[in-house]
Amino acid sequence: MGSHSSVRFVAEYMVRTAILFALIGMIAWGVWAVFADYATRTLEPEVAMAISYAIGVGVATLYIASQSGPVTLTDSGVAFAIVGGLFSGVGSISYYAAISTETRQLRRP
């Protein structure tokens, strides 16, 4: 019975941790959108995105460095990450361009 309660505790902990990370992600993406809008008021969308993502890469690197254990890479994982990064870049530039255009149009008399 003790083994069963340990498994249940671990499962509950994992669910709580996943929910916490999801909430942090939701709040962070919402705050990011606000500051992305502010950035494109004075910067070109591509420049704002590049600065934003450069800082994001730094945060991700610090997070990886703070984790225990070695980083393992697989060919397929790296390939999927590269393709995902390409789509993320296109989507981000499009998003920044959209909010930049919207901001300029809203300022017109």
Give per-residue pLDDT as tens, 17-60: 888 999 999 999 999 989 988 998 899 888 988 999 999 999 99
Query: How sure is the predictor about 2, in pLDDT bands with cuts at 50, 70 and 90?
Result: low
46 to each of 23, 64, 90, 104, 109, how far by Cα in Å? 28, 26, 10, 16, 26
pLDDT level of residue 9 (50, 70, 90 thresholds)? confident
Q: Which two tokens stand for residue 40?
A: 């494109």
User: What is the model's pTM?
Assistant: 0.68
Q: Is the pLDDT of residue 92 over 90?
A: no
Residue 102, token pair as written in the block: 């919207």
